[in-house]
Structure 1
Amino acid sequence: MGSLDDVAARLVDGTIEVIDLTAPLHADTPILALPEPFGQTEPFRLHEISRYDERGPAWYWNNITTGEHTGTHFDAPVHWVTGQDGDDVATVPPSRLVGPAVVLDVTDRVAEDPDFLLEVDDVHAWEAEHGPLPARGWLLYRTGWDARGEDPAAFANADDDGPHTPGISVACARYLAEETELLGLGVETVGTDAGAAAGFDPPFPCHGFLLGAGRYGLTQLRNLGRLPARGAVVVAAPLPIVGGSGSPARVLALVERTS
């Protein structure tokens, strides 16, 4: 891109576009529901402190309650038992919050099968067309699931057998963790694992393998369809919660526009 001055100038003139990959955070934002007896996260809530009234005549502000893993959020390694000795969200090096990104798009296959799982061969086929996965970069997994983001029931897509949402196979999760130099994995669903991943062997392989390898997760992303297959730069900005396992995040992509 040239010097930082060049980048700044191109941000101003729009030839580098900033695309928001973040879902709006509100009371109806879908959250992950675990089966009993496991503990549950709290939905997002605003609690008004004052709004230009007798509680504070010139200012409006709120307290908030929510879980660390609500809405578009960042998973730190310590979130999972396999990464318990790794970084919490406050100790992730800032340099690892910015990196190149590629988009692997399987929306057509997910439209036919909401339980679709990405396999290693799919990754190799993508690389044959677009080049290698980026070292110290993000793999963004586009499934089209963000279109359901304002409908919690459609987003969960659950029946008596549990949720039916796309994800990544056990073998592919292991491959991404052990055979690539990715920073992490970004998805459009409520978590980095498939809806059926509780029944995999091992269960929740994206969490187990990737966080155990010191990688990161980004979830509930939007607007991946506006990104090129490769060439974007992602800025993932979680709150530096000391001891935190994750945080809601504002995730932005920088994309070069030539016209």
Structure 2
Amino acid sequence: MSLLTEVFAALREQRLEIVDLTAPLTSSTPVLRLPEPFANTINFQLEEISRYDERGPRWYWNNIHTGEHTGTHLDAPNHWLSGKDGPDVAGVSLRTLVAPAVVLDASARVAEDPDFLLQIDDVRKWQEEHGPLPDGGWLLYRTGWDTRSDDADEFLNVDDTGSHTPGVAAECARWLAEETPIAGLGVETVGTDAGRAMELDPMFPCHELILGAGKCGLTQLRNLDRLPATGALLLVSPLPIVGGSGSPARVLALVER
């Protein structure tokens, strides 16, 4: 039996499960909101072209209006100034888009503190229990934040002092970028950085350091609680937008059961 035939058999027999990590893309999908004077992306919209009517009697189709960084999406290195000479979304390596993934669960810490920042020691403790981070793979950072994603106000969690969502400490972002073999970082929040990332040094450290190192980001993931700490295979399918800085993506994981 060939390797691919064995994979198909495992899927059919449910020894291998496909877990969808993607948030549905609708007009109510939460999007990042930057303060003035910065420009913001638009919400996702469908514009009907025809629907089995005089405009097209046998077909239904739409134009889509959205930003590259809307919903579950991939950040390419060129999304940030520090990575401007890196690949665009069409140029991201296929070995990055299909790669092993591990899950670090900090949801209990985040339940106590929505501003929780992942530290280097947190990752090292995870490694002591589960082994090294995957070479060329993904670190998926579970915070439990996906339970809020159907309500934009709860998901963005903004008050008079700013946005309060979990993220990664600047020192940890630098360490992940420069000292670990991962190809990217995936999160459940609206962006890879914490809500208060403008207060860190450098500001937006995951964007500045991880993208600057030629690595990628994934945001607004769901169902990370259905993945094991190690052993999943991630499949990321962004649109290959030439010159694009990112793209909404369907993100799936293959998990042995």
The reply to whether TM is greater than 0.5 is: yes
In the alignment, the residues of structure 1 paired with residue 3 and residue 65 of structure 2 have an alpha-carbon distance, to the nearest angstrom, of 41
In the alignment, the residues of structure 1 paired with residue 165 and residue 207 of structure 2 have an alpha-carbon distance, to the nearest angstrom, of 16
Equivalent residue, structure 2, for 1:77: 77
SS in 1 for 2:231: strand
Deviations 1:137-191 (A, max 9, x none): 0000000000000100000101011100000000000000000010100000000
Cα distance, 1:11 vs structure 2: 1.4
Equivalent residue, structure 1, for 2:40: 40
Equivalent residue, structure 1, for 2:230: 230
In the alignment, the residues of structure 2 paired with residue 125 and residue 91 of structure 1 have an alpha-carbon distance, to the nearest angstrom, of 34
Deviations 1:212-231 (A, max 9, x none): 00100000000000000000
With normalisation by structure 1, the TM-score equals: 0.98
Give percent identity, aligned residues only: 67
Cα distance, 1:4 vs structure 2: 2.0
* Paired amino acid for 1:138: W
Paired residues for 1:106-185 under 5 Å: 106-185=106-185
Paired residues for 1:193-212 under 5 Å: 193-212=193-212
SS in 2 for 1:230: coil
Equivalent residue, structure 2, for 1:67: 67
Structure 1 unaligned runs (5+)?
none
Give the ranges of 4+ consecutive aligned residues of structure 1 lying more than 6 Å apart after TM superposition.
none
Equivalent residue, structure 2, for 1:96: 96
Equivalent residue, structure 1, for 2:249: 249
Equivalent residue, structure 2, for 1:12: 12
* Paired amino acid for 1:126: W
Cα distance, 1:53 vs structure 2: 0.7
With normalisation by structure 2, the TM-score equals: 0.98
Aligned-residue Cα RMSD (Å) equals 0.8
In the alignment, the residues of structure 2 paired with residue 9 and residue 210 of structure 1 have an alpha-carbon distance, to the nearest angstrom, of 38
Cα distance, 1:95 vs structure 2: 2.1
Cα distance, 1:69 vs structure 2: 0.1
Cα distance, 1:3 vs structure 2: 1.7
Paired residues for 1:48-63 under 5 Å: 48-63=48-63
In the alignment, the residues of structure 2 paired with residue 34 and residue 12 of structure 1 have an alpha-carbon distance, to the nearest angstrom, of 45
